[in-house]
Amino acid sequence: GAVVSQHPSRVICKSGTSVKIECRSLDFQATTMFWYRQFPKQSLMLMATSNEGSKATYEQGVEKDKFLINHASLTLSTLTVTSAHPEDSSFYICSARDRLEREKLFFGSGTQLSVL
Amino acid sequence: LAKTTQPISMDSYEGQEVNITCSHNNIATNDYITWYQQFPSQGPRFIIQGYKTKVTNEVASLFIPADRKSSTLSLPRVSLSDTAVYYCLVGIETGANNLFFGTGTRLTVIP
């Protein structure tokens, strides 16, 4: 099956610093990628939709200046958590939709962010 | 807002067949139904996808009635390693609203 690679898997940072998370589709082209966050024992919450070559669309309540999304190519999207604070600590998951098989969504392994 | 409804949790003994049902009353004509499995601290993993009737793969079966307003994921002879949260998504292609996850079903397999 298709593989989505997400890095890093875990990051610990100090409050006020920025953290970048990468999401790559390894064997398929993804015109659209999605970013989710998940708190313990809760479901995934969609944060934003990113389309290659255009600005991301953010869900209500998600600050676009805090969560910067770049989708520069058909295989790479990045999420940067700027000026991170402890309340940003969460599990972040990216997913990619296959350009050719649009009904299939593949997920990265997730990034556990802990802000001290 | 999630368009699907599932039981929040289920328990099962090892070796039993487990059926998890998802309601999706507002499914559109072109929507496919997709099920995912998620283990703690991992991203969801694709299990099975279908449009109508029955689909079977090496992991599970998916039963979809004629009206397509619900679907049932069937896991044959579960083992402890099947303990996970199971989510159904409907209409991945047709719009961002369909990418909202519901509560999922937390399956606990008991020895």
CB distance B46–A109 less than 8 Å? no
* pLDDT for A2: 78
Per-residue pLDDT reduced to its tens digit, A2-31 = 799 999 999 999 999 999 999 999 988 888
* DSSP string over chain A: ---EEEE-SEEEE-TT--EEEEEEESSS--SEEEEEEE-TTS--EEEEEEETTS--EEPTT--TTTEEEEEEETTEEEEEE-S--GGG-EEEEEEEE-SS-TT-EEE---EEEEE-
* Cβ within 8 Å of A, B 17-46: 32, 34, 36, 41-46
CA angle B64, A104, A2 (to 5 degrees): 130
Name chain A contacts of B43, Cβ cutoff 8 Å: 4, 6, 93-95, 107-110
Mean of pLDDT over chain A: 92
Q: Is B103 on the interface with A (CB under 8 A)?
A: yes
Q: Which residues contact A88 (CB under 8 A, 6 or more apart)?
A: A66, A81, A113, A115
Per-residue pLDDT reduced to its tens digit, B45-103 = 999 999 999 999 999 999 999 999 999 999 999 999 999 999 999 887 766 566 778 88
Residue of A nearest to B103 (CA): A43
